[in-house]
């Protein structure tokens, strides 16, 4: 388990002080994939680098598996870091070394024997799907392949924690999905705790169990991915969600409508029930679906529909009350003229 307690990181310059991380406290459970989300300058990468003390906190504690890293001497910290792997946005591979040699580097630093290194590197290259690239150089690899080498290298010393700093930001969408699938496989099969920094909510939706949203060095919202997506509290979080689940209709389309426009959110199992169909059969209203989509987040459905209701105003209100009661997620966008 990772515990961050009252963590502060301040950068001092000649003219002023800049707060990178501002009194952050959070707990990351063993075996979960935890996302830290925020725009550039929010403090998320600084927080991540504080977790293995690549950035030493100004104050506060970083406790991993019961050990406060901030209290360790240099030798003890080097040993602790062997169990904390890290992968980067730009791979950081040694261009003059082969794939095998890049992965073996961490094992050599840990003073493993030649036979141990040979066996472990071969296992890792098979795990990340690069056995056939063992003798290739980074210049001969695609971006996705380079990141797979980075992942293999980070796993070399069998870490319990894997830190990912914008690990997919330099990749195209298709390659991103394959890397996320690999990280999820590693998490599920090896039980490794993954902490993932990103500004892309699509990445969060695909892989994370819980997320923290950061702004100005602070964590402003924290929760499970499903709860954050279905009920965001902060405006920044809502803007992130809208980048993935965009359901707003253009103004010119709304102006053409004469009925009542409603946006309905269906959470969990309710998303798979025939609530709209039941409503149309129960009340004397007509329904025209203008936009709709069902997303699956952590294998749980989230449905959002925008529809126009026409008919007697009293019947429309009864229909709205019926759906509101069944879904607890209805918003009237425009009332009937």
* C-beta of residue 26 within 8 angstroms of C-beta of residue 50: no
Please tell me the pTM assigned to this model: 0.87
* C-beta of residue 32 within 8 angstroms of C-beta of residue 209: yes
Domain ranges of the chain: 2-243, 251-334
Which among 130, 167, 151, 153 has a CA at the least distance from the CA of 35? 167
Which whole number is the average pLDDT over 174-185?
93
- Rounded to the nearest 5°, which phi and psi values hold at 120? -70, -45
Q: What is the largest CA-CA distance in the chain?
A: 81
Beta strands, E only, the chain: 2-12, 17-28, 33-37, 59-64, 67-68, 84-88, 161-165, 193-198, 210-215, 218-224, 260-267, 285-297, 300-311, 330-334
DSSP H/E element including 109: helix 99-109
Which whole number is the average pLDDT over 165-189?
90
* C-beta of residue 291 within 8 angstroms of C-beta of residue 305: yes
At 134-160, the pLDDT tens digits run 999 999 999 999 999 999 999 999 999
* C-beta of residue 318 within 8 angstroms of C-beta of residue 256: no
CATH 3.40.50.300 holds for 2-243:
yes
Q: Give the CATH fold of the 251-334 domain.
A: Alpha-Beta Plaits (3.30.70)
Give 311's pLDDT tier (boundaries 50, 70, 90).
very high
Model pLDDT, residue 181: 93
Model pLDDT, residue 151: 95
Computed over every residue of the chain, the mean pLDDT equals: 90
Give 13's pLDDT tier (boundaries 50, 70, 90).
confident
Q: Is the pLDDT of residue 337 over 60?
A: no
Give 336's pLDDT tier (boundaries 50, 70, 90).
low
Length of the chain equals 337
Q: What angle do CA 211, 296, 286 make, to 5 degrees?
A: 125
Q: Is the pLDDT of residue 12 over 80?
A: yes
């Amino acid at each position: 388990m990772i515990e961050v307690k009252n963590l502060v990181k301040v950068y001092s310059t000649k003219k002023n002080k800049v707060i990178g991380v501002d009194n952050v406290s959070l707990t990351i459970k063993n075996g979960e994939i935890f996302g830290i989300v925020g725009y550039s300058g929010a403090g998320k990468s600084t927080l991540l680098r504080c977790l293995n003390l690549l950035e030493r906190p100004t104050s506060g504690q970083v406790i991993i598996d019961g050990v406060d890293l901030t209290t360790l001497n240099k030798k003890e910290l080097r040993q602790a870091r062997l169990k904390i792997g890290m992968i980067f946005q730009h791979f950081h591979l040694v261009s003059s070394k082969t794939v095998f040699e890049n992965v073996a580097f961490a094992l050599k630093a840990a003073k493993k024997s030649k036979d141990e290194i040979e066996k472990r590197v071969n296992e890792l290259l098979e795990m990340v799907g690069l056995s056939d690239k063992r003798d290739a150089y980074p210049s001969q690899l695609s971006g996705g392949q380079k990141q797979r080498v980075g992942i293999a290298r980070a796993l070399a010393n069998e870490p319990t924690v894997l830190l990912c700093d914008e690990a997919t930001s330099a990749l195209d969408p298709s390659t991103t999905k394959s890397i996320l699938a690999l990280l999820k496989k590693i998490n599920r099969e090896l039980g490794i705790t993954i902490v993932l920094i990103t500004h892309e909510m699509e990445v969060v939706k695909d892989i994370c169990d819980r997320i923290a949203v950061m702004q100005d060095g602070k964590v402003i919202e924290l929760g499970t991915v499903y709860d954050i997506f279905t009920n965001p509290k902060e405006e920044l979080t809502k803007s992130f969600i809208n980048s993935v689940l965009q359901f707003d209709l253009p103004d010119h389309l709304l102006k053409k409508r004469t009925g009542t426009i409603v946006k309905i959110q269906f959470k969990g199992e309710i998303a798979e029930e025939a609530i709209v169909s039941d409503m149309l059969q129960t009340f004397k209203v007509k329904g025209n679906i203008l936009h709709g989509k069902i997303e699956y987040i952590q294998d749980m459905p989230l449905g959002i529909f925008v529809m126009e209701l026409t008919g007697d105003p009293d019947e429309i209100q009864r229909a709205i009350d019926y759906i509101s009661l069944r879904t607890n997620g209805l918003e009237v966008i425009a009332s009937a003229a």
